[in-house]
Amino acid sequence: MAEHRSMQRAALLDAARSLLSEGGTEALTFPALAERTGLARSSVYEYFRSRAAVVEELCQVDFPVWAAEVEAALAVAGGPEAKIEAYVRKQLELVGDRRHRAVVAISASELDAGAREKIRAAHGGLIAMIVEALGDLGHAQPRLAAMLLQGVVDAAVRRTELGAAEHPDAITEAAVSMVLRGVRD
């Protein structure tokens, strides 16, 4: 029985990823989740009390996977500039990944304070990955610089998600160039 519930929960999370990927947070509704999984709408409520709860669990499950991929990219990069470049490139490369798309959509979602705090903490872990590289470059305030650097990444992610006029590769190159020139100051 517990295994069956676990499989249904996983199916609901997978359906939520698809809905977020296809239509953003507006597409993530309990009727849509029920339809995608073949469950009754009342059954969906047995697993999640609200859309925010679905989003919060997706973040707990998906964000560490995404962060691990970024961390792996940093691990194989050479010096501090290569690490910074890998940090930017990997995040922008993951925009097309359904797990990442869920995380992007999540940040635009209406969430309760607890969920927002968990997302902030997850982002804090991501930012911590790059603080050392910025310190190695001699940056006087590496944590502040890391937050601003992540702001550039987030802006590039949003631009890519919007289907902007620029090709995603052009957005990535512009973000990398901006970050690398900015961190040399």
Is it the case that residue 184 has pLDDT exceeding 80?
A: no
pLDDT band at 45 (very low <50, low <70, confident <90, very high): very high
Confidence of residue 106 (pLDDT cuts 50, 70, 90): low
What pLDDT is recorded for position 146?
Answer: 93
pLDDT top residue among 124 and 90: 90
Predicted local confidence at residue 185, as pLDDT: 44
Whole-Å CA distances, 110 to 30, 105, 115, 118: 15, 10, 10, 14
pTM of the model: 0.77
Q: Which of 65-69, 123-127, 177-181 has the lowest mean pLDDT?
A: 123-127
Q: What is the distance between the alpha carbons of residues 17 and 161, in angstroms, rounded to a whole number?
A: 15
* DSSP per-residue letters across 10-71: HHHHHHHHHHHHHHHHHH--HHHHHHHHT--HHHHHHH-SSHHHHHHHHHHHHHHHHHHHHH
Tokens encoding 29: 């509704």
77 contacts 136 by C-beta, under 8 angstroms: no
Identify the residue whose tokens are 């409520």. Answer: 45
pLDDT, mean of residues 92-114? 68
Taking residues 39-56, report their average pLDDT.
Answer: 89
Q: Mean pLDDT of all residues in the chain? A: 85
pLDDT at residue 162, rounded to an integer: 72
Mean pLDDT over 130-159 rounds to 91
Tokens (6 digits) for 74: 């940093």
pLDDT at 2 over 90: no
**For residue 43, what are its two tokens?**
């059954």
